[in-house]
């Protein structure tokens, strides 16, 4: 499946309540809701297996999706998904309408690249990921599927913060927009591997005893 072609069919759901939802799930149907914008929320029914298969793709959660709702195309973002506690089943899904010309707020995954090729990694460093996604705001047309974090030049002991990331044109970090150093969150830190750290400490102790 192409990440750029998430299209789902849905129908308006009028039979509401827990009992109705259970009946839908037994028929491999998925209850959901579309909300946001100036229109009223709409309860919907989707094909569970189609949504479940689409949900295997990372881009499904950070891409503008198209829902064919009884013949009307609605652009949305996934805002919440509830899963069965032990079965590979989705029990409910929430979508937020995307309105042309209005900024969207959503989480976008981070892709850490050149991690193994960095000098720090070759020296035995281990990357500790503090976050794997960040909240951004942008126009729907500018929404990226992911944001790259280039680790090539990251040194041992260095921490990469939100302000160090290169965001695509038109995309802003929600946290950095608060203009407070406390919101310049740590993204990733390269630390010595445990054995390397222990050896370094042992060396320092031996040197101090001499």
Pick the CATH number of 7-97 from 3.20.80.10, 3.40.50.300, 3.40.190.10, 2.40.240.10: 2.40.240.10
- pLDDT tens across 16-36, in order? 767 767 777 777 889 999 999
Using the predicted structure, report yes or no on whether residue 2 has a pLDDT greater than 60: no
* pLDDT band at 79; cut points 50, 70, 90: very high
Tell me how far apart the alpha carbons of residues 29 and 68 are, in angstroms, rounded to a whole number.
Answer: 16
Domain range annotation of the chain: 7-97, 104-205
Q: Fold for domain 104-205? A: RNA Polymerase Alpha Subunit; Chain A, domain 2 (2.170.120)
For the chain, what percent of residues have pLDDT higher than 90? 68
Q: Is the pLDDT of residue 157 over 70?
A: yes
Stated pTM of the model: 0.79
pLDDT at 204 over 70: no
Chain centre distance of CA 19: 32
pLDDT band at 198 (very low <50, low <70, confident <90, very high): low
Q: Output the pLDDT for position 1.
A: 35
Task: Select from 181, 111, 174, 101 the least CA-distant residue to 142.
Answer: 101
Q: Given this model, what pLDDT does residue 197 score?
A: 47
What is the rounded (10 degree) CA torsion for 48, 52, 54, 56? 180
d(CA 28, CA 128): 40
Measured CA angle at 100 (ends 96, 106), to 5 deg:
40
Sort residue 141 into left (φ over 0), alpha (ψ -120 to 50) or beta: alpha
Q: Which tens digit of pLDDT belongs to each residue from 85-128? A: 988 889 999 999 999 889 999 999 999 999 988 888 888 899 99
């Amino acid at each position: 499946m192409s990440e750029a072609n998430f299209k789902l069919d849905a129908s308006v759901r009028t039979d509401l309540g827990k009992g109705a939802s259970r009946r839908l799930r037994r028929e491999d149907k998925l209850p959901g809701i579309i909300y946001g914008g100036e229109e009223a929320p709409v309860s919907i029914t989707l094909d569970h297996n189609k949504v479940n298969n689409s949900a295997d793709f990372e881009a499904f959660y950070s891409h503008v999706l198209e829902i064919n709702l009884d013949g009307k195309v609605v652009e949305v973002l996934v805002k919440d998904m509830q899963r069965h506690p032990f079965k590979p089943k989705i029990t409910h899904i929430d979508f937020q309408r995307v309105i042309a010309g209005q900024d969207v707020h959503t989480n976008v995954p981070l892709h850490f690249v050149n991690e193994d090729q960095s000098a720090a990694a070759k020296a035995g460093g281990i990357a500790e990921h503090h976050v794997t996604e960040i909240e951004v705001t942008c126009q729907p047309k500018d929404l990226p599927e992911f944001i790259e974090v280039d680790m090539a030049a990251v040194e041992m002991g260095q921490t990469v913060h939100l302000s160090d990331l290169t965001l695509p044109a038109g995309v802003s970090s929600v946290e950095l927009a608060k203009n407070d150093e406390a919101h310049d969150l740590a993204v990733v830190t390269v630390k010595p591997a445990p054995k390397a750290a222990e050896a370094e400490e042992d060396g320092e102790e031996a040197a101090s005893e001499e």
